[in-house]
Structure 1
């Protein structure tokens, strides 16, 4: 039976279980006794909390190894001296390596540092989300034409900033010759080396062999380069069109401006 202290959804859940089974269900004993647990939620919150470095007066150590605003090594100084130097430069003293002995602290603009770090993290998340894994499949006995077609497809994916998953599909007794698959994938990686680099070496995945190639340029860089190329191509096309219109007009103008020869009356 549920007790008087049980309230809310826990008591209702226990009551329904008892009514359904006709007896107390021990599965609800911990829930009813303890109530809904928030430990998992709290642990998730702690896991996602980013601990910020200690700054200025929050640095509770007698001395630090000080790094100047330009990266120069000042040396080991007392914490009071380090804070005073940071205040004189109108900057912050930030503890960058708390586990060192003594801890390492740097004089910097902490607000600017946090903003730049947030922008880098945002860019990294955007690039990671935009990167798509494209798949290119091979047979172990692939002819030259098919290989070139697969290579060109992979180059297009890499130019767009996407990863390429090169996969060899083994059939029958081909599984007993994995070294041939390794050679084929290594050759493929060398052929696209100008656009991508091997992220994971050839590995056996069931009856297949897989290799991952990452682009040398991320998604945003590839998109910016493609936009620049389109803009340059459009500008060249407009220039050719203007030249095509200007040439007949210039020719007509030159004919109009050229003096016509008149007969000299003295020659008659």
Structure 2
């Protein structure tokens, strides 16, 4: 995000603090106005000519910069492996792991390894229970997929 003196354009399309359109203004004048109001001049779109700039309160500018940085980071897919015969304590631990990963902004692939074809129904029930328990942290991207030796489902974080 380009702000204040880093803006190199001769003039900018300026938007005020409350979203009002202030028109095309020389950059020096826009910077003087920003200093007078004790706010930042932030370039929101470089793809226009003149570039679109907004007057934003300093705290809000930091917050927008942090959220832009978060959006830039590509989400990773973390795989969590389970077995169909999981005990309650282990289930809770895996659920907490998934919640932590989802709240961190990464996706989760839940995989249950099957040792026999008879475990498919139990694995499906386990995945459905996990999906129900994790609905506050993530949303289901794929359906429950039973294929050969494993059952899997993918969850994306809520954003």
TM-score by length of 1: 0.37
- 2:4 is aligned, of 40, 51, 55, to 55
Structure 2: runs of 5+ lacking an equivalent: 103-107
Q: Aligned runs of 1:73-88 on 2, under 5 Å?
A: 73-79=20-26, 81-88=29-36
- Tell me: CA distance 1:169–1:156, structure 2 relative to 1, closer, same or farther (3 Å): same
Higher-strand-fraction structure: 2
What corresponds to 2:83 in structure 1? Answer: 138
- Using the TM superposition, give the Cα deviation of residue 60 of structure 1 relative to its aligned residue in structure 2, in angstroms: 1.8
What corresponds to 1:210 in structure 2? Answer: 152
Q: Aligned runs of 1:143-158 on 2, under 5 Å?
A: 146=86, 148=88, 150-157=90-97
- Larger RCO, structure (CA 8 Å, separation 6 or more): 2
**Retained in 1: the 8 A contact 2:111–2:152?**
yes
What corresponds to 1:100 in structure 2? Answer: 48
**Retained in 1: the 8 A contact 2:146–2:152?**
yes
Residue-pair matches, total = 146
Structure 1 distance, partners of 2:30, 2:68, is 28
1:13-39 per-residue CA deviation (whole Å, 9 max, x = no partner) reads: xxxxxxxxxxxxxxxxxxxxxxxxxxx
Higher-helix-fraction structure: 1
2:118 is equivalent to residue 170 of structure 1: no
Structure 1 distance, partners of 2:66, 2:6, is 24
Let me know the Cα RMSD of the aligned residues: 4.7
Structure 2 distance, partners of 1:103, 1:208, is 52
